[in-house]
């Protein structure tokens, strides 16, 4: 009986996701990609048919060098791709002396600079790759070093189709219009990330609320703002260390839940008031993957010095649900450290740690379809996979890509390579696949 109910819920969830009015672009261009992990918050483009094969000389509609350095995954609205970058100037600034006892983490080779940077929001024309505009929202010395594989512009922006919200962490939050004009800004102060790993949690939007999660080694907090003005609607301190996960807002069973995933607790709160609905423990340290949801189940996971995945039935969850029946299943193997999952067609796809090994679970009951299957050519990965059509697109750091069939058995459809390094995740709109490398932005298309 339970499987029949969940089957119906999955069909309903898929139908809702396939017709989000706010995600349709004009002119038949396909779906927008308005935020980190896409229109359904699941890493899936609801429609489209990008190429399966490409190279530097095949199926590249255009290739554009992007100024500066940023691992911000682009968003797409209409004809514009929006991305963030930190552009080094030729002006030096006096570096601050770290406070006594501040962790310098030299063994991880953090990246530091003595040059002032411009923190910029960039609009790229999706049709030809030309830069429509770039707006500098702040100029200053990056506050702290970042991870050797990180950047000072790693968060994805988010849009409601009217305004763009760009978050540079310690360097501010900005609202812009689609002409690149800054409408308002807010500074939450500096963050102290563990081990100089850098920043990366992206903002989330729900109705008129803009949600910012700041878990770090200082005073962690959850902040909910009025998206029109930047005024604080409510905020609270959190008993959490550093995490990089992006909040998820879910409407289900007549209730709206704001879900955050971190080391000490996974929490669900009322986004209007902040009132706690439920919470549980079970994650490892350094939580990075963002929660995903379908059919009334929320999936949270982490993979630093351990493995943890919880599937939580949110329909009646209340209070502390640790070890209760609200946790439908757990899977404590092969979970991702940095990459987020893809949730599509009743299957959950996971990459192991930061390595090129793929696992696929039945999203309803955790049954393993296949596990720990090697993606040849990919040994290191910090991007999250993309689901579109009947396939999964996976980008390795070294410019190698694997395209895997969305099915209950492991099948690689293609292996491709580009001459760049990749830390931003693939996104798709219609029949176009967009890949942001460390230096270039590519449009992969047969057009």
- Identify which of 109-118, 193-202, 258-267 has the greatest average pLDDT: 258-267
Q: What is the pLDDT of residue 96?
A: 62
Q: What is the pLDDT of residue 447?
A: 82
Rounded to 5°, the CA angle 120-126-127 comes to 140
Measured CA to CA, the distance from residue 399 to residue 339 in angstroms comes to: 16
Model confidence pLDDT, tens digit, residues 164-180: 999 999 999 999 999 99
What 3-state class would DSSP assign to 13? helix
Model confidence pLDDT, tens digit, residues 32-48: 999 999 999 999 999 99
Q: What is the pLDDT of residue 110?
A: 86
Q: Please give the share of the chain, as a percent, with pLDDT higher than 90.
A: 87
pLDDT confidence bin for 21, thresholds 50/70/90: very low
- Judge whether 301 and 353 are in contact, CB under 8 Å: no
What 3-state class would DSSP assign to 420? coil
Q: Which long-range contacts (C-beta less than 8 Å, at least 24 apart) are formed by 131-137?
A: 131/64, 132/80, 132/180, 133/179, 133/180, 134/67, 134/180, 135/176, 135/180, 135/181, 135/182, 136/87, 137/166, 137/168, 137/172, 137/174, 137/176, 137/182, 137/185
- DSSP structural state of residue 98: P
Model confidence pLDDT, tens digit, residues 402-411: 999 999 999 9
**What fold, for 2-444?**
Methylamine Dehydrogenase; Chain H (2.130.10)
Model confidence pLDDT, tens digit, residues 332-355: 999 999 999 999 999 999 999 999
* Whether pLDDT at 29 is above 60: no
- DSSP structural state of residue 79: T
Q: Please give the share of the chain, as a percent, with pLDDT higher than 70.
A: 90
User: What is the pLDDT averaged over residues 182-201?
Assistant: 95
H-helix or E-strand containing 418? none
Rounded to 5°, the CA angle 394-383-112 comes to 150
Q: What is the pLDDT of residue 423?
A: 98
Measured CA to CA, the distance from residue 374 to residue 358 in angstroms comes to: 7
- Token couple for 208: 């008129």
pLDDT confidence bin for 436, thresholds 50/70/90: very high
* Whether pLDDT at 19 is above 80: no
Rounded to 5°, the CA angle 290-293-295 comes to 170
pTM of the predicted protein model: 0.93
Q: Could you tell me the CA-to-CA distances from 321 to 15, 92, 239, 312, 317 in Å, in that order?
A: 29, 52, 18, 9, 7
Measured CA to CA, the distance from residue 274 to residue 209 in angstroms comes to: 12
Beta strands 319-320 and 276-280, pairing class: parallel
* Whether pLDDT at 25 is above 50: no
Mean of all residue pLDDT scores within the chain = 92
């Amino acid at each position: 009986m339970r499987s029949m109910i969940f089957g119906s819920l999955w069909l309903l969830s898929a139908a809702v996701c396939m017709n989000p009015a706010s995600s349709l672009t004009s002119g038949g261009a396909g779906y927008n990609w308005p935020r980190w992990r896409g229109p359904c918050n699941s890493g899936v483009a609801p429609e489209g048919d990008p190429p399966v094969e490409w190279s530097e000389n095949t199926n590249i509609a255009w290739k554009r060098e992007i100024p500066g350095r940023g691992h911000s995954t682009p968003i797409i609205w209409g004809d514009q791709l929006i991305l963030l970058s930190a552009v080094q100037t030729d002006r030096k600034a006096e570096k601050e002396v770290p406070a006594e006892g501040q962790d310098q983490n030299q063994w991880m080779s953090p990246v530091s600079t003595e040059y002032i940077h411009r923190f910029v929001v960039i609009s790229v024309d999706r049709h030809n790759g030309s830069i429509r505009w770039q707006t500098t929202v702040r100029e200053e010395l990056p506050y702290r070093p970042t991870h050797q594989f990180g950047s000072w512009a790693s968060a994805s922006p988010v849009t409601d189709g009217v305004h763009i919200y760009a978050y540079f962490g310690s360097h501010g939050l900005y609202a812009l219009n689609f002409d690149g004009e800054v409408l308002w800004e807010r500074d939450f102060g500096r963050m102290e990330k563990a081990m100089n790993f850098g920043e990366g949690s992206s903002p989330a939007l729900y109705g008129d609320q803009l949600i910012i999660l700041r878990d770090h080694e200082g005073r962690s907090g959850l902040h909910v703002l009025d998206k029109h003005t930047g005024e604080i609607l409510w905020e609270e301190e959190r008993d959490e260390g550093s995490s990089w996960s992006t909040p998820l807002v879910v409407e289900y069973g007549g209730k709206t839940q704001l879900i955050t995933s971190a080391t000490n607790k996974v929490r669900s709160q009322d986004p209007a008031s902040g009132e706690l609905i439920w919470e549980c423990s079970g994650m490892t340290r350094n939580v990075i993957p963002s929660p995903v949801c379908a059919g009334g189940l929320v999936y949270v996971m982490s993979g630093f010095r351990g493995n943890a995945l919880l599937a939580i039935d949110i329909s009646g969850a209340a209070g502390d649900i640790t070890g209760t029946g609200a946790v439908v299943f757990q899977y404590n193997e092969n979970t991702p450290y940095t990459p987020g999952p893809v949730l599509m067609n009743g299957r959950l796809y996971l990459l192991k740690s930061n390595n090129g090994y793929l696992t696929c679970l039945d999203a309803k009951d955790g049954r393993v379809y296949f596990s720990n299957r090697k993606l040849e050519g990919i040994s290191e990965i910090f991007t999250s996979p993309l689901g579109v059509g009947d396939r999964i697109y996976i980008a390795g750091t070294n410019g190698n890509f694997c395209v895997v069939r969305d099915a209950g058995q492991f099948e690689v459809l293609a292996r491709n390579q580009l001459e760049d390094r990749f830390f931003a995740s693939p996104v798709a709109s219609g029949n176009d696949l967009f890949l942001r490398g460390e230096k270039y932005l590519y449009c992969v298309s047969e057009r």
